[in-house]
Structure 1
Amino acid sequence: MYVTKPVRWLLRIGSFITLAFLYAPLVVIAIYAFNTTRVQRWPPDGFTLSWFSKALHNSGARHALWTSVQVGFVATLIALVLGTLAAYALARFAFFGRSAISFLIILPIALPGIVTGMALNATFTQVLGVDLALWTIVVAHATFCVVMVFNNVAARLRRTPASLEDAAADLGAAPRRTFREITFPQMRSALIAGGLLAFALSFDEVIVTTFTAGDAQTLPLWILDNLSRPRNLPVVNVVAVVVVILSIIPVWFAQRLSSDPVGLAGTVATTD
């Protein structure tokens, strides 16, 4: 594809404006994390690293971080199992209502978080009669983490011809061996990418968590709780920066794993 020089500059400017629109607020928070005073105003009064040390030694933030890691890990495991089973069933078998089931599996990610939180809270406390705890957060997060795994695995299975599995069966391979040696290697990277995205989604979630946490406190809830306390605001800014960094890592790996190799090696021809 030939692109003229004016078009190239227009695309560059458009890309810069888009990135600035998306990330300028995050840059502001990152700058505030190095502010010398507790008062948050622009421009900052100075530069210091002292708040990072205070955040590192904040027991509440550390405990909340560990809670978020636990919740995200278990919710991701549940999502990997349920999402993979659903994706395989819908991608490899034809049956009545398949499209409707696929829509219902994807729907939770589009529902307003406050509605999902209210529904889960009512189910846990009124229908099941259980106390809100760490495991209720895990179940709540798994309901939307399943979607991330399902989308990735289903997309990979749709691009993997079923004829490979049929050929293995014709050669005498049992279904278990066919899955282990043919199907699983084909969708392994999609599983990892879906799991990483599910973990990142769980790690950052706050609305549904608010309705299902009880006495437990994840890192986003800790940030929300301390945001209204002026003395803790510099530490909150530091923790927010850490959350952004921790969120970038799994999303970056997932993007690398799920990117289609077709066309990546190609180049875009340009002309002046």
Structure 2
Amino acid sequence: MPSERAPVSLKIAAGAGLLFLHLPILLIFIYAFTTEDKSYQWPPPGLTLKWFAVTWGRPDVWAALRLSLQVAAISTAVALVLGTLCAAAVSRAHFFGRETVSLLVILPIALPGVVTGIALRSAFHIAEIPFSFWTIVLGHATFCVVVVYNNAVARFRRTSGSLIEASMDLGADSFQTLRHVILPNIATALLAGGMLAFALSFDEVIVTTFTAGQQQTLPIWMLEELVRPRQRPVTNVVAMVVVLVTLLPILGAYYLTRGTDAVAGQGK
């Protein structure tokens, strides 16, 4: 029987890969406490907590954070509705061009963000839609829908169709079947997809650059602060917040979707 213990070389390679991925993030956390306010020095000349108080008192940070949270929340809500409907149609109905529809739904997240941003900006210009809060929401919804769709369609395909048939045979109407059979079986998938969509929207930069106009979401604020810095440690403090805000939904989505190999209605 083969040993379950990984060889030392594989452990070292895995550790090196993790270090390569996460060491820059660790540096962000360290520089959030540095006493130097103009440039990055290693090792930091000293450590302080004053930049957290400075960040707390910056109204521009709060305005950018508020805008990012509002955009992410509404984009996620739009994605939940559209992504779930698309997933239900593709997984439960058989029609000509179904695979083409599926490809078109996931295309926005496969395209480079610059291409999506240019396409949206051109569309808004042709339609004479001024840049506003809602243009940012529409831009973010294009890729948030994909995340929800991928989670929902996978769960729909793994949910036994006999459950819906049994519900209808027992006299339930469409709304009752949706409420008592379908939604309970896909709820965790939708919640996980919504969390991932929120995290993606919250830290999106490229598409936002093309659709925001003069407005600043938190990632756009960070980018401009790096180009024309006033207080670099404040940018690192905000970066810590972005990391934590995006990490929590991702962890939640992971725990919600792990261990779902069993098909709903067949042992789950």
TM range (shorter): over 0.9
Partner-residue secondary structure (3-state), 2:145: helix
Normalised by the size of structure 1, how large is the TM-score? Answer: 0.92
Q: Quick check: 1:138 aligned with 2:134?
A: no
| Match runs of 1:75-224 below 5 Å | 75-125=75-125, 127-224=126-223
- CA deviations 1:146-173 (Å, max 9, x no partner) are 0000000111111111111111112222
Q: 1:11 & 1:261 partners in 2: Cα distance?
A: 28
Change (3 A) 1:164 1:17: same
Q: Match of 2:255?
A: 256
CA shift for structure 1 position 261: 4.3
Q: 1:20 & 1:118 partners in 2: Cα distance?
A: 35
Change (3 A) 1:43 1:100: same
Q: 2:250 & 2:96 partners in 1: Cα distance?
A: 35
Q: 2:36 & 2:79 partners in 1: Cα distance?
A: 43
CA shift for structure 1 position 122: 1.1
CA shift for structure 1 position 176: 1.5
Partner-residue secondary structure (3-state), 2:111: coil
- Give the AA of the match of 2:143: F
CA shift for structure 1 position 216: 1.4
Mind listing any 5+ residue stretches in structure 2 that lack a counterpart? Answer: 263-268
Normalised by the size of structure 2, how large is the TM-score? Answer: 0.94
Q: Match of 1:68?
A: 68
Change (3 A) 1:179 1:142: same
- CA deviations 1:23-52 (Å, max 9, x no partner) are 011011111111111121211111111111
Q: 2:145 & 2:242 partners in 1: Cα distance?
A: 22
Q: 1:257 & 1:61 partners in 2: Cα distance?
A: 32
CA shift for structure 1 position 14: 2.7
Q: 2:230 & 2:129 partners in 1: Cα distance?
A: 36
CA shift for structure 1 position 2: 4.2
Partner-residue secondary structure (3-state), 1:118: helix
Q: Match of 1:267?
A: none
- CA deviations 1:69-104 (Å, max 9, x no partner) are 000000001000000000011111111111111011
Q: Quick check: 1:235 aligned with 2:256?
A: no
- Give the AA of the match of 2:166: A
CA shift for structure 1 position 13: 2.1
Q: 1:31 & 1:251 partners in 2: Cα distance?
A: 23
- Give the AA of the match of 2:189: A
Q: 2:129 & 2:82 partners in 1: Cα distance?
A: 23
Q: 2:56 & 2:137 partners in 1: Cα distance?
A: 26
| Match runs of 1:51-66 below 5 Å | 51-66=51-66
Change (3 A) 1:100 1:20: same
**Residues matched between the structures, number:** 261
Q: 1:146 & 1:210 partners in 2: Cα distance?
A: 19
Q: 1:173 & 1:2 partners in 2: Cα distance?
A: 52
Q: 2:230 & 2:164 partners in 1: Cα distance?
A: 61
CA shift for structure 1 position 8: 4.2
Q: 2:44 & 2:252 partners in 1: Cα distance?
A: 34
- Give the AA of the match of 1:29: I
Give me the identity figure in percent.
50
Partner-residue secondary structure (3-state), 2:96: coil
Partner-residue secondary structure (3-state), 2:128: coil
RMSD, matched Cα: 1.4
Mind listing any 5+ residue stretches in structure 1 that lack a counterpart? Answer: 264-272
